[in-house]
Structure 1
Amino acid sequence: MNESLTLAELRTRLDRLGNGAVLRISDRDYERLFGINEVAAAKAAQFARKHHCVSVPGEGSVYFRKSNSGAYGSVELVQDVPPMSR
């Protein structure tokens, strides 16, 4: 997506999101910013929580969704489940 995306820019973009809005970054940016080891997902999730978001890996991208920081509880983003065949 954006080869020059920095953590500071991502932080600013997440802070500007409205409730329920989604920001998508490429896997390449995700790996460059957070790493590719087993702790990368935890680091990304912690970063997202600090900005009232949840992070969800997708196909070729990672999505950050802004939760309603003023509401009681939190909004969870659940990945789509493929339809079941019978």
Structure 2
Amino acid sequence: MNEMTVQPTVTLPALQVSLDGLGAGQALRLTNADCDRLFGVDDALLGRVRNFALGHGCIVVWDEEGLTFCRQPHATCCKPLG
């Protein structure tokens, strides 16, 4: 995986541009401090981050030091399971 990190002063609009520029399999890393600054620290944080990631074709991977937005490949042919 090709992982990049953001500058500590990044804004939400700049983060959106960075995520939109990721190719399939690329990732962008945020520290916990950056995540708190950009998305807040209340109980709605997880939902905001999840919705933000989904809106940019990414999944979120959390760990002790922060989170990583991972760009997913576009599906060309999908069938529902079941």
TM tier, shorter chain? 0.7 to 0.9
Q: Which has the higher strand share?
A: 2
**1:50 equivalent in structure 2:** 55
| CA separation of 1:35 and 1:71: change in aligned 2, threshold 3 A | farther
How many residues matched?
73
* 2:46 aligned with 1:41: yes
**1:7 equivalent in structure 2:** 12
* 2:74 aligned with 1:69: yes
Unaligned runs of 5+ in 2: 1-5
Equivalent residue letter for 2:8: E
Cα RMSD of the aligned pairs, angstroms, is 1.5
The percentage of counterpart residues that share the same residue type is 30
User: In 2, distance between residues paired with 1:69 and 1:8?
Assistant: 23
**1:16 equivalent in structure 2:** 21
| CA separation of 1:35 and 1:19: change in aligned 2, threshold 3 A | same
**2:33 equivalent in structure 1:** 28
How far did residue 2 of structure 1 move? 2.5
Q: TM-score, length-normalised on structure 2?
A: 0.79
User: In 2, distance between residues paired with 1:10 and 1:26?
Assistant: 13
| CA separation of 1:20 and 1:38: change in aligned 2, threshold 3 A | same
Q: TM-score, length-normalised on structure 1?
A: 0.76
How far did residue 72 of structure 1 move? 4.5
